[in-house]
Amino acid sequence: MFDSLMQKTFIVHSDRGIFMLRSMQIFPEKEELSGILTDVPEYHKIYLNDKSGKYKYTKKATQMLQEVHVYTKLDSSSRIEMNVNIPFKDITRMEVIERDKGKSTGVTILAVVGITIGTMAVITAIAAALKESCPFISVYDGSEYVLQGETFGGAIYPSLAREDYVPLPSAAIGPEVKVMVSNELKERQFTDMANLLLAEHAPGQQVLISPAGELMLVSNPVSAKTAVLNNSRDMLQMVTDLDNTACAFNDTSAGTPVNRLVLRFDHALEEGNLGLQLSLRNAYWLEYTFQELTKHFGDRYNQWVGQQKQKPGEQIIQWQEAQHMPLTISIKNGDGWKELLKLKTIGPLMNRDLVIPIKHLPENGGPIEIAFSTGFMFWELDQVKMVEIEPLPASAMRTLKPSAAVDEEGKNVMNSLKEADGKFLEQPEPGKRAYLTYKVPGYSPSKAYSAFLHSRGYYEPIRDYQGPADIGFLNRMKDPGGFTAFSMDEYKRVAQSAYLAAKKQ
C-alpha cells in the first residue's frame, strides 16, 4: 500500500491557497506528512476548476485519477518551494478520486471526513478508496443529503445479515423525514427493511439508542477519573472530550496485539439506572488489514467466499471473536470481571453515539471500573461518559415504515423495504441509491424529536485478486489471535517502510 500511495499526487487545500505537494513523504513515527509546496499544474486542475459538480474527464486526463485532495491549515509563513510538515491532527478532510465504472466519463469522489488522529490515519484513509463498506445512510437536513454513517457493518455474507440502528442527528424532522440509502463503493448491497424510529421528548433532553435498539433518555454525564491502556499509557484526555482525539488501541509495547483500556469512575450518580454513553467507530486500519488478509487468497478468493456463504453465521462470528474484532466491554465487581457486551463492527466512516446499560454493578458501591478490549487498531474510542439512563416510555416512541421509496431512476422500491421478509432492496454497484420518505403523523414544531434508522441486511465486497493463494499465511489466520497479530505486525512493517523511504531522501 505504501508504494502505491507514494505514486499519488497530493493537492493541498488551505487558508493559504491550493498547492501541489511535491516529494511527499509520510512519517508515521512523527504523525505527519511533508513535502514541498508547488503550483498546481493545469493538467491537475480539472477537478479544481469544474464548478458543475459533474467532474467530466477524457481518457487523456487520467492523471486526475491519481489525485488525493488534503484539506488542512498551513502556517502563515508557508509559500511556494517551501518544505512544509502537516500534522495528521490538522487534516480535516481527504478526497480520493476514482473512476465511476457505471459511466464512461464520470468520476466518483470518495470523501473521508473527520480524519481522526492516529499514526496510520493518513495512510489508511487513502486505503479507504479501496475499502469495503456497508450501505451509507444520509438524511435530508432541509437543503441537502448529509451523511450520518453506515449500517450493519461487517455483515458480508447472507448468514451474517443483521439489524442495526443508526442515529440521524442531522435529519430535518417535520411532517416528513427523508433518508437516503446508497452504495458508494465496490460491493453489492442488500437491504431487507428500513424503518424510522422516532422519539418524542422535551427540548434539551438527549435520547440515545443501545445496540439492541433500546431508546434511552440520558442525563448527568460524568467523566472517568482515570483511563489507562495496557496498564501503562494514560488515555484520559483521549476519551474525555469529543474532539476526534481517540484512544486507537495501538500500543505496540505491551507484548500482545490485544489492547485493553480500563476506566475508573467515582460512583457520583446516586439515582436511577446507570449506562455508558460512547462515541466511537471502527478504525480504517481494520478495513485495510482485512483486505490485506483476503488478498492472500489470490485467484481462489471467489471460491473461498462461496465456501464462507455455506457456513453458519455463528461459526464466522466465532472466528471474529477469536480475533478480537468486536469491542468487548466489561465491568469489575466482587466476582471479578463480568462481560457487558461484545459490540459488533459499525464501520469507520463516522463516529456513532450510543448507550450501553450497565449491569453487574459492585454491591458495595464505591468506584466503578469498566474495561474495553479489542484487537490492534480495530476501534477508535473518542469519548466515554457514565450517565443516568431512563427507558423512553412507549407512548413517546413511534416506528414508521416508509410511505414512499424510489431508486436513483425514480423506480418504486417500496416492497423491498417495508418488512423484514427476505425481499431485499438490491444495490449491486456504486451509484445505486434509494430515497425513502417517512410521514410523521401529529408532528408539532413545539416538540423535540430524535430519529434513528432501524435497518437489516448484508453486503458483499467485490474483489478481483490474481495469483496463487498463500496457504501458509491463510492457515495462520485460522489460529485464535492470528489476524490480530498480523494487524500489529503489518503496522510495524508499514511504519518501517515509511521510515526507510524517508531516510533515502
Give, to the nearest 10 degrees, the angle between helix 482-503 and helix 284-295. 100
> In angstroms, rounded to a whole number, what is the distance separating the alpha carbons of residues 59 and 64?
10
CA atoms within 13 A of residue 327's CA, in its CB half-sphere: 28
pTM: 0.79
- Nearest Cα neighbor of 134 from 152, 109, 108, 161 is 152
> In angstroms, rounded to a whole number, what is the distance separating the alpha carbons of residues 83 and 34?
7
Report the helix count and the strand count for the chain, using DSSP H and E. 9, 28
Question: What pLDDT shows up at residue 130?
Answer: 43
Question: What pLDDT shows up at residue 335?
Answer: 87
Beta-carbon neighbour count of residue 413 at 10 Å?
Answer: 19
Taking only the tens of pLDDT, the chain with its 505 residues reads: 444 445 568 889 998 899 988 877 766 546 677 888 999 888 788 778 776 655 555 555 555 666 788 888 898 888 888 889 888 778 877 776 655 444 434 455 544 434 443 334 454 454 444 455 689 999 999 998 888 989 999 999 999 999 999 999 999 999 999 999 999 778 999 999 999 999 999 999 999 999 999 999 999 999 999 999 999 999 999 999 987 778 999 999 988 999 999 999 987 666 569 999 999 999 878 988 998 999 999 999 999 999 999 999 999 999 999 999 999 999 998 889 999 999 999 998 788 999 999 998 887 778 999 999 999 999 999 999 999 999 999 999 999 999 999 999 999 999 999 899 999 999 999 889 999 999 999 999 999 999 999 999 999 999 989 999 999 999 999 999 999 999 999 988 877 765 565 455 4
Question: What pLDDT shows up at residue 10?
Answer: 85
User: Superfamily assignment of 135-286+320-462 in CATH?
Assistant: Galactose-binding domain-like (2.60.120.260)
Question: What pLDDT shows up at residue 199?
Answer: 98
Question: What pLDDT shows up at residue 61?
Answer: 54
Q: How open is the CA angle 178-179-182, to the nearest 5 degrees? A: 145
Q: Where are the domains of the chain?
A: 2-130, 135-286+320-462
**Helical residues (DSSP H) of 11-120, grouped into ranges:** 46-49
